[in-house]
Amino acid sequence: MKRIAGIIVVLLGAAAGVLWADALSINGAGASFPNPIYTKWFDEYHKKNPNIQINYQSIGSGGGIKQVTEGTVDFGASDGPMNDEQLKAYQDKHGSPILHFPTVLGAVVPTYNIPGVDATLNFTGEALAAIYLGKVTKWNDPLIADANKGVKLPSEDIVVVHRADGSGTSYCFTDYLSKVSEEWKTKVGKGTSPNWPVGLGGKGSEGVTGTVKNTPNSIGYVELIYAEANKIPYGNVKNADGVFLKASLASVTAAASGAVKDMPADFRVSITNAKGKAAYPISTFTWLLIPEKFSDSAKRDAIKGFVTWMLGDGQNYTEALSYARLPKEVVAKEKKALAEIQ
Amino acid sequence: MATASTSLPSAGPVSGSRSFLSRLRDGDEIARLITFVFAATVVLISILLVLELWHDSVLPRHKFGLGFFRTTTWNPVEGDFGALPFIYGTLVTAAVALFIAVPLGIGAAIFLAELAPPRVSDTLEFFIDLLAAVPSVIYGVLGIFIVVPLMRQYIAPSLKSILGFLPLFRGPAYGLSFLTAGIVLAIMIIPYIISVSREVLLSVPRDQREAALAVGSTRWESTWKVVVPFARSGIMGSIFLALARSLGETMAVAMVIGNDPKISASLLAPGYSIAAVIANELAEATSELHTQSLIELGLVLFLLTFVLNGLARILIVVTSQRGAGRARA
């Protein structure tokens, strides 16, 4: 028994020694929505560059921003861009700014459960805002019915379901509602956990999906990748050009292309309700938050190397995991911005 | 619990009569010091916990003051925070849980300790201990897939039709509600009540029972009028352990309460609890005020548990003095 324990200790020590001696360890933390693709990327990148080991903890966007500001991780990740206040806090603490780098795109889709209705429903932005404001309470309300001619909607009360946990999904959804409804903007606003006027809170995507599945006449919203992975039916949403679109990887990438013209140099841009006939309106970037200045040049080069790879070959891994890839224009811009990291 | 003496435990009368050096050599003094440090750690952790919670909730304490306890808005977007709906939800769900679990738990404990054959009692006790060790997220899943649909389809409609005249059972029933959370909590805490109460009942001295039987009481009379009152303070202890558990339960409650920060008279309406909102929002809280308000909620929960436990201690002391007096008389 003792001998076995001894051997294990020696082996562990040797393994740790190998890891510590050879691999450069880089730590990141933040958003949970892109965690599957990040895990894949860091794993693939490590296979290609065995001397670089990137560790990522999906602790949530808020946590990612906090940790990178505190300096406890080398980079952060967030589903929503940092606001001016947070940027200033970072600048004050470190003396140099932090940069945003979009990595992939995600989308939010409305999902519903109405007994007797199998058709894919069309939703306008006004209808979604009115439902989540508690102003439209019946499924056969003209605001919903007019966009769904030929579908027999019941005269039942709508049960509204939203995320209870703070989430980038809620941020994207309320960001969209703020753009299409003045009343939503003034009464509720956008945020990772806004003050919902009505509805039940489900914990996590699985909580929202479970509640919608179990509750007749309910409506909820989930990430596209979650709906795809779990084969959950979802509705079409009317975009800024007046077209009812079903979310797909192509229509989400199109939303990003539509927003490229107005993209600020720091990439902090919302692409909800983007222009373009083929653009799905409830789409969002997710970002890596990378400090402009690194004191450790090895770490700096490793991170720059990773981002370069991620913008090139790395993008080929996106579709298999149901993430929409970045449009070419954004990739070109990011490659230019990468030079700013010193 | 209450019968324990109030004076500090000392090393005993022997230790005083020997020299410090000889006590040190024997190891008595070392053992005393080491165990004292261990015991002191418990107090230290509680104090540090409160200090930390207090220190990390400066912003909301200054901004909202006592209004934090009175207001019902919880709006992270606008930076406006009030704790009342969460305090309400925590207390209501715990009350519902105790209302259901106490009679069931104590009844089962009496059966196991007094009436069941020892072999049955021990076998069941094994399963009860097993139940007490099930992780709470499992109870949450059980709640979502079994209790919630049952609630929506059967329990809530029948409650409404029979007791609908009470404001407690009105309004639409989504299945996610104070009552659902209370029921799931009750399922979780019953094993605690049974397990502890059974032990306490079993430790009641034989002569108490024999004396009762000797003066002509039936088996049930001896159980109900002698054994249970004798074990009262221990049973109370089990109830307060269960109360503490239900106040602080997080996952299972977050999964079935509906997570809607509103105060409703109806038990069928969705609500929110302190532990649930902390678990839900802390990871993605982006503003400092939001984070600190959640930490202040943690402080509130700590104080709530502290106050309720204090009241419980007082209750035990008062009732056990009365009970003990009668038992001795």
Give pLDDT tens digits for A84-103: 888 999 999 999 999 999 99
CB contact under 8 A, B286 and A189: no
What is the C-alpha to C-alpha distance for residues B297 and B280, in angstroms, rounded to an integer? 13
Cβ proximity of A127 and A143 under 8 Å: yes
* Average pLDDT for runs of 10 along chain B of length 329: 44 56 75 92 94 94 92 90 95 96 95 91 91 90 90 90 88 90 95 93 90 90 90 89 91 92 92 94 84 95 90 79 50
* Mean pLDDT score, A175-189: 95
Q: Which of B200, B181, B202 is nearest to B276 (CA)?
A: B181
Mean pLDDT for all residues in chain A: 89
Q: Give the pLDDT score at B284.
A: 79
Give B71→chain A minimum CA distance, Å.
Answer: 14
Percentage of chain A with pLDDT > 90?
A: 66
Q: Give the pLDDT score at A7.
A: 59
CB contact under 8 A, A200 and B176: yes
Paired tokens of A137: 């309470």
Closest CB from B73, B272, B284 relative to A62 = B284
Residues of chain A whose C-beta is under 8 A from some C-beta in B? 59-63, 65, 80, 83, 86, 157, 159, 164-168, 188-196, 199-203, 207, 210-211, 214-215
Residues of chain B whose C-beta is under 8 A from some C-beta in A? 73-78, 144, 148-149, 152, 172, 174-176, 254-255, 258-260, 270, 272, 276, 279-286, 291
Q: Give the pLDDT score at B312.
A: 81
Q: Give the pLDDT score at A62.
A: 81
Paired tokens of B135: 């992780």
CB contact under 8 A, B286 and A167: no
Q: Give the pLDDT score at B1.
A: 39
CB contact under 8 A, B76 and A61: no
Give pLDDT tens digits for B158-209: 998 898 888 889 888 888 999 999 999 999 999 999 999 999 999 999 898 8
Q: Give the pLDDT score at A77.
A: 94
CB contact under 8 A, A166 and B75: no
Q: Which of A184, A203, A191 is nearest to B284 (CA)?
A: A191
CB contact under 8 A, A193 and B176: no
CB contact under 8 A, B284 and A165: yes
Percentage of chain B with pLDDT > 90?
A: 57
CB contact under 8 A, A157 and B77: no
What is the C-alpha to C-alpha distance for residues A298 and A309, in angstroms, rounded to an integer? 17
Tell me the CA distances in angstroms from B24 to A294, B17, B28, B29, B40, one per residue in order.
57, 13, 6, 5, 21
Chain B residues within an 8 Å CB radius of A65 = 286
Chain A residues within an 8 Å CB radius of B270 = 200-201
Cβ proximity of B184 and B205 under 8 Å: no
Give B140→chain A minimum CA distance, Å.
Answer: 11
pTM assigned to the model: 0.82
Mapped onto helix, strand or coil, the DSSP state of residue B91 is: helix
What is the C-alpha to C-alpha distance for residues B226 and A272, in angstroms, rounded to an integer? 71
**β-bridge pairing A98-113 and A244-245:** unpaired
Q: Give the pLDDT score at B12.
A: 47
Asked if the model's pLDDT at residue A41 lies above 90, the reply is yes
Chain A residues within an 8 Å CB radius of B79 = none
Q: Give the pLDDT score at B17.
A: 60
CB contact under 8 A, A62 and B283: yes
Mapped onto helix, strand or coil, the DSSP state of residue B262 is: coil
Chain A residues within an 8 Å CB radius of B152 = 214-215
Paired tokens of A199: 């509805």
Give pLDDT tens digits for A290-338: 999 998 999 999 999 999 999 999 999 998 888 999 999 899 999 999 9
Q: Give the pLDDT score at A8.
A: 59
Give B135→chain A minimum CA distance, Å.
Answer: 17
Give A165→chain B minimum CA distance, Å.
Answer: 4
**Residue in the block written with tokens 């992975």:** A229
* Mean pLDDT score, A270-299: 92
Q: Give the pLDDT score at B233.
A: 85
CB contact under 8 A, A200 and B174: yes
Paired tokens of B277: 């909102």
Tell me the CA distances in angstroms from A34 to A39, A106, A249, one per residue in order.
9, 8, 15
Q: Mutate which of B257, B284, B288 to disrupt the A interface (most A C-beta within 10 Å)?
A: B284
Strands, E assignment, chain A: 24-30, 52-57, 75-78, 98-113, 122-123, 159-163, 200-202, 218-223, 236-238, 244-245, 283-291
Asked if the model's pLDDT at residue A64 lies above 60, the reply is yes
